[in-house]
Amino acid sequence: MEEFDLGIIGAGPAGYTAALHGAGTGKKVVLFEKNEIGGVCLNKGCIPTKAILHVSEVYNRIKNCSDYGISVSDVDFDYSVVLERKNKIIEKLRKGIELALKNSKVTVVKSEAEILSEHEILSDNTVYSCKKIICAGGSSPKIIKGLEFDDEFLLSSDDILNLEKLPKSVLIAGSGAIGLEWARIMSNFGVETVLIELAPHLLPAADIEVSKRVERILKSQNIKYYTNTSIQKIEGKTVTLSNNEVLNPEIVLVAAGRTPCIPDKKFDEVSYIGDMAGEIQLAHYAIKQAVETVDFIPFNKNLTPFVIYGTPEIAWAGKREQDLEAGTYQKSLTLISSLGKAHCDNETEGFIKILVQNNKIIGAHIVSSEASSILQQLLIAMQFGIGPDKLKEVCFPHPTYSEGIFEGLYKLK
């Protein structure tokens, strides 16, 4: 029986990060993966979706470039090439991870694995002895009763990545990250898009002002949406909504999130991280879990950043205004349209919202081009307790979107 210091099941962001960090500290590591290295994020989530989203935005910008004094005619796209590019990106990144694992001398076993005990893993009829075991088995698309995937009409977020051609119309159920990003993709490519959300507002996990701005943006982008709405029944390809609206989409994307792949039996000394932990299902959260587990470097889970990609980006971290008691906090809201850089880029939609309590920044909510990068600056301040007064001492470059933070600091009320 071969012995290892660390045995890891699942080679997604949580698993391969744990493997690389473990090997980096001199541990003998074995990593098991029954599918492709990279997990959901690289193969079925973040990366392929963003690759397709980027092309859709380039296409949409070219179609609408007359404002820049550029005339273009007969603009079209070949979706097969879009998919080919997406696959090349995945393959390149996967090879990079595989090379990093190889160079770190991590033993990779491409086979299904089962935890036999606190210190034993069975894979391909071989038992591996491990001083410590980490399980990062990932997740699968959540199945909703009555909306079970059929791979043709009712599609999961996995299925939609496998479409060889785009539909003429789509109904998307759910307005979280998956639903909103695919609504943007489809709309950019000229697909008739309808989005429905069971909650009173789109993107219900966000600050209420962000949700309301997202609704306004979707209207301007000709994406039809309904809130407080669900699918009541489906007959053939006719969909009746709970508001009695009848639709005939070519496909339905069920974007209801993902379900952790929970093992039948859990062991007390095994660390369960990543999507299967049933906490926040984000790649960067999984990576930080891995670092915390292997290197014992803690992180503030309450300051996990959330980002919805597209134009404009949507990003937030920390407390939402609707969760705070009136009169106990200060806030500022700086319109992106007040920034010179936004006008240069023709990206004037959105705002930067800062929430402060006891002279500490406790929430940041941004709708803007480069929102993810703007958020990270505020996130560092939040993480290390850098208050508004101290942050005012920082010199922000001009013209940038970041200087919206500087303006916002002087608007706190």
Q: Which two tokens stand for residue 214?
A: 């997202």
Of 96-105, 137-146, 204-213, 371-380, the range with the lowest mean pLDDT is 137-146
pLDDT in tens, 84-101: 999 999 999 999 999 999
303-409 shares the fold of 3-140+259-295: no
Residue 369 — very low, low, confident or very high, per pLDDT cuts 50/70/90? very high
> Rounded to whole angstroms, how far apart are CA atoms 242 and 226?
10
Cα distances from 94 to residues 89, 276, 288, 298, in angstroms, run 8, 21, 20, 27
Enter the CATH code of domain 3-140+259-295.
Answer: 3.50.50.60
Residue 2 — very low, low, confident or very high, per pLDDT cuts 50/70/90? confident
Tell me what pLDDT residue 264 has.
81
Amino acid at 63: K
Peptide bond before 397: cis, by omega within 30 degrees of 0?
A: no
| Contacts of residue 174, Cβ cutoff 8 Å, sequence gap at least 6 | 196, 197, 254, 255, 256, 257
| Contacts of residue 288, Cβ cutoff 8 Å, sequence gap at least 6 | 299, 304
pLDDT in tens, 118-137: 999 999 999 999 999 999 99
SS3 state of residue 108 = strand
Provide the strand spans (E) within 52-180.
107-109, 113-117, 120-123, 126-135, 139-141, 154-155, 169-173
Enter the CATH code of domain 143-256.
Answer: 3.50.50.60
pTM: 0.95
Is the pLDDT higher at 206 or at 73?
206
> Rounded to whole angstroms, how far apart are CA atoms 135 and 120?
12
CA 280 to chain centre: 10
High-pLDDT (> 70) share of the chain, %: 100
pLDDT in tens, 157-169: 999 998 999 999 9
Contact 45, 38 (CB under 8 A): no
Kindly state the average pLDDT of the residues 297-319: 97
> Rounded to whole angstroms, how far apart are CA atoms 73 and 89?
29
- Cβ burial, residue 211 (10 Å; 0-12/13-18/19+): buried
Kindly state the average pLDDT of the residues 249-274: 93
Kindly state the average pLDDT of the residues 55-81: 93
pLDDT in tens, 353-364: 999 999 999 999
SS3 state of residue 98 = helix
Is the per-residue pLDDT at 204 higher than 90?
Answer: yes
> Rounded to whole angstroms, how far apart are CA atoms 150 and 127?
37
Tell me what pLDDT residue 179 has.
97
> Rounded to whole angstroms, how far apart are CA atoms 43 and 161?
10
Tell me what pLDDT residue 395 has.
96
Q: Which fold has domain 303-409?
A: Enolase-like; domain 1 (3.30.390)
SS3 content of the chain, % helix, strand, coil (to 5): 35, 25, 40
Contact 412, 354 (CB under 8 A): yes
Kindly state the average pLDDT of the residues 355-374: 97
Kindly state the average pLDDT of the residues 206-215: 97
Kindly state the average pLDDT of the residues 187-197: 97
> Rounded to whole angstroms, how far apart are CA atoms 246 and 14?
42
Mean pLDDT across the chain, nearest whole number?
95
Tell me what pLDDT residue 281 has.
94
Tell me what pLDDT residue 254 has.
97
CA 388 to chain centre: 29
Is the per-residue pLDDT at 225 higher than 90?
Answer: yes
Task: Find the length of the chain.
Answer: 413
Kindly state the average pLDDT of the residues 381-402: 96
* Whole-number CA gyration radius for the chain: 23
For 339-408, what is the HEC assignment? CHHHHHHCCCCCEEEEEEECCEEEEEEEEECCHHHHHHHHHHHHHCCCCHHHHCCCCCCCCCCCHHHHHH
Amino acid at 317: A
Tell me what pLDDT residue 1 has.
75
Residue 67 — very low, low, confident or very high, per pLDDT cuts 50/70/90? confident
> Residue ranges per domain, the chain?
3-140+259-295, 143-256, 303-409
Residue 296 — very low, low, confident or very high, per pLDDT cuts 50/70/90? very high
DSSP secondary structure of 234-293: EETTEEEETTS-EE--SEEEE---EEE---SS--TTSEE-GGGGSS---HHHHHHHHHHH
Contact 259, 223 (CB under 8 A): no
Tell me what pLDDT residue 263 has.
84
Tell me what pLDDT residue 66 has.
87
* Inter-axis angle of helices 46-63 and 177-188, nearest 10: 30
